[in-house]
Chain A
Amino acid sequence: MDNSICSFRDLQKLSRKEVAGPGVKIAVLGNCSTQFLSQAINGAVKNRGFNASVFDADYNQIEAQLLDRESELFAFEPDFIVLWLSTEKLYEEFLDEDAGKRPSFAERYMAKILRYWELAGKNSKAKILQFNFTETEDKCLGNYSVKVTSSFSYQIRKLNFILEESMAENANVFPVDILSLQIRLGRDKFGDAPLYYNAKMTVSINSLPYIAKEVAGIIAATKGSIKKCVIMDLDNTLWGGVIGDDGLGGIEIGELGQGHCFSNLQRWLKQLKQCGIILAVCSKNNEETAKEPFEKHEDMILKLEDISVFVANWEDKASNIKLIQKTLNIGMDSIVFLDDNPFERNLVREMIPEITVPELPEDPALYLDFLQKENLFENIAFCGESADRTKQYRAEFERKKAELSYESIDEYLKSLKMVGRAREFEEVRFQRIAELTQRSNQFNLRTVRYTKGDIERISKDDSYITLYYTLKDKFGDHGLVSVVILKKIDETSVFVDTWLMSCRVLKRGMEEFIVNTLVDRVKEKGFKLIEAQYIPTPKNKMVEHIYDRMGFTPVGEGNYRLNVEDYIYKPNFIETE
């Protein structure tokens, strides 16, 4: 068993305690016995710092709970509904059917799941955590089974595939890939036949903590706990050997020595970058020496343009990491630090407790496998190619340099030739808007998290006024940088439900630009008052006084009010497009 995994007993004990932290309500529905899974999830979610309460529907109560609008499930008002349809039960249903109907099993079953999602969506706001299907070894025709459409092996694999396709179209459904856990632990360990026949529990008790950890990770990710950056050491981490000693021809990458493992690690890191993770380098080296492989070694997968911030010097790593974090303006807890050297790892952990430092195995052949099992990059959205923001971070580096060459900040801001734009939410932007509500922690007044599905609903709802902002300048396009959601309270007033902004555009006059256009929009729509609120979190202190600065009147307890007629427009250097 893996050390980073709690035992089921520990989770069970934790599940009975209360923890200080935001509450989360989770309902567990299954076609198998789920009591132990519910306890494990409860404990694992508490382990992540959320005070979980869990409703466990009894064995096989899915339809009864979902069909009845007044069921215990809906009365519980869950934030999450865990839906576990176990393969063991499907297998029995499959075999009980007429043989002639079996080739359409997967499609019919998917239709049933879609109906579950629809019913859940109709009667609650819960996000659905959908388990995929584990595999069995039916072998009714031996290996030949997998090419026979009426075999269970064929249908369960097909069902997994069409489930993935359907989930891709449902923003409110989040996959729990228990199949990958079954593969990792092995079918013999993952299941427990006597337990199933005794108590209708389809996985072994010792596998439950693995499943629960994944569920808790997804829930934490929906609450904003997402990794954004990997800071990498170089020597013996990204290539074998020491560039300063071994030279360009001596380091192991590509076909030389152990080079293949480093190449594959780099391939995977490059993919992370394409998925929106920022890559940075922190190395004890001369900068020129450290950059040489990136510039000249033909087997290097990672190139200089893949690295957003490159720091190579002889300072201690903790200080350098702090520097990188400041440049990128992201939370320390969203950073992963990779280093082969246990001494450096401990130093960094000691100095920066919030950062994640994986305990890489000694053998580089195991690096990649280890990191993949750790599952550090749980995410709840993917916005395609636009996810890669390396260019923007590199442009930011150029801006920082330019800033230093101007006499005054105003001179500098003028020279940027900034152009801003405010628009109502549009469909093509839903994904990015949702992502920002999930990821922004610092410049976020109320830290309300929304999924793509929520954003879609809000944009169609007449009781909301929505705005998103883009900003560009002579160095490049920042893209979508700010989101504002106003909720109409009555005929004359609106409430700022959400205002968040990317920290990359701080101190450019963007806040002023936003409030100016916001007030215009509110006036246009015929409202007189803007009510606003600041909800403090451990991370958003930077905006504690923003409403004071913008001329809102404090009315106590973090609440503010602005009469739009009294608003004095704030000067800035951003042109409207």
Chain B
Amino acid sequence: MDRAQAYEKVTEIFRDIFEDDEIVLSDETTAKDIEGWDSLTHLSLINEIEMAFDIRFKLAEVQKSKNVGELITALLSHVGE
């Protein structure tokens, strides 16, 4: 899986969770840019991504990913593990 494919799938998940079909993600997107992205929704988001990609994030990755770019990088490091 390449980064673009991962982006596409993750964007879908974001659009479903935040109920907004116009969400466009970039490496720099942070919680401040998306309405409703609080710590609780973050957990739900992580769970959906884990299910969609069949991966498990590490605790530190969940806590420390500062933006979408870091999240995608962490995600890709687990794919195919």
Q: Count A/B pairs, Cβ under 8 Å.
A: 33
A347 at the B interface (CB under 8 A): no
Q: B interface, by DSSP: helix, strand, loop or mixed?
A: helix
Is A35 among interface residues, defined by CB-CB distance under 8 A?
yes
What is the bound-complex CA distance between A162 and B17, given in angstroms?
42
Instruction: Report if A201-B47 is in contact (Cβ < 8 Å); known contacts: A9-B16, A194-B56.
Output: no
- Among A12, A201, A205, the most chain B Cβ lie within 10 Å of the Cβ of A205
| A404 sits at the interface (CB 8 A) | no
* B59 contact from A194, A204, A206, Cβ within 8 A: A194
Interface residues of A in 417-467 (CB under 8 A from B): none
Residues of B within 8 A of A294 (CB): none
Q: How far is the CA of A194 from the CA of B16 in the complex (A)?
A: 24
A201 touches B43 (CB 8 A): yes
Contacts of A199 in B (CB 8 A): 39-40, 43
Is B32 an interface residue when CB atoms closer than 8 A count as contact? no
> Does the CB pair A194–B57 fall under 8 Å?
yes
Is B51's CB within 8 Å of the partner chain A? yes
Chain B residue at minimum C-beta to C-beta distance from A16: B19
CB contacts (< 8 Å) of B43 on chain A: these are 36, 195, 198-199, 201, 205
| Complex contacts, A205 vs chain B, CB 8 Å | 43-44, 47
Q: For the complex, what is the distance from the CA of A194 to the CA of B58, rounded to whole Å? A: 7
B77 at the interface (CB under 8 A from A): no
Q: B47 contacts which of A35, A193, A206 (Cβ < 8 Å)?
A: A206
Roughly how many angstroms separate A205 CA and B51 CA in the complex, as a whole number? 11
Q: How far, in whole Å, are A73 and B44 apart by their CA atoms in the complex?
A: 26
CA distance A231 to B58 in the complex (A): 51
Knowing A198-B43, A201-B43, the reply to whether A9 touches B48 (Cβ < 8 A) is yes
Contact residues of A between 165 and 202, Cβ < 8 Å to B: 193-195, 197-199, 201
Query: Quick one: given A194-B56, A194-B59, A198-B62, are A36 and B44 in contact (CB under 8 Å)?
Result: yes
Closest to B39 in A: A199
**A499 CB–B CB distance under 8 Å:** no
A196-219 contacts to B (CB < 8 Å): 197-199, 201, 204-206
A94 on interface, CB distance cutoff 8 Å: no
Q: Which residues in chain B, 33-58, are within 8 Å of chain A measured between CB atoms? A: 39-40, 43-44, 47-48, 51, 56-58
Is B63 positioned at the interface, with any CB of A under 8 Å from its CB? yes
> Chain A: which residue is nearest B59 at the CB level?
A194
CA distance A89 to B16 in the complex (A): 33
Q: A9-B16, A199-B39 are in contact. Are A194 and B44 (CB under 8 A)?
A: no
- Chain A residues with Cβ below 8 Å from B48 are 9
Question: Is the beta-carbon distance between B40 and A35 smaller than 8 angstroms?
Answer: yes
In the assembled complex, A377 has its CB within 8 A of some CB on chain B? no
Q: Point out residues on A near B: beta carbons under 8 Å.
A: 8-9, 12, 35-36, 193-195, 197-199, 201, 204-206
Given contacts A8-B47, A195-B43, 4 further A-B contacts (CB under 8 A): A9-B17, A35-B40, A194-B57, A199-B43
What 9 A-B pairs are tightest by C-beta distance, nearest first? A194-B59, A205-B47, A198-B62, A197-B59, A199-B43, A35-B40, A198-B59, A198-B63, A194-B62
Q: List 27 A-B contacts (CB under 8 A).
A: A8-B44, A9-B16, A9-B17, A9-B48, A12-B44, A35-B40, A36-B40, A36-B43, A36-B44, A193-B59, A194-B56, A194-B57, A194-B58, A194-B59, A197-B59, A198-B59, A198-B62, A198-B63, A199-B39, A199-B40, A201-B43, A204-B47, A205-B43, A205-B44, A205-B47, A206-B47, A206-B51
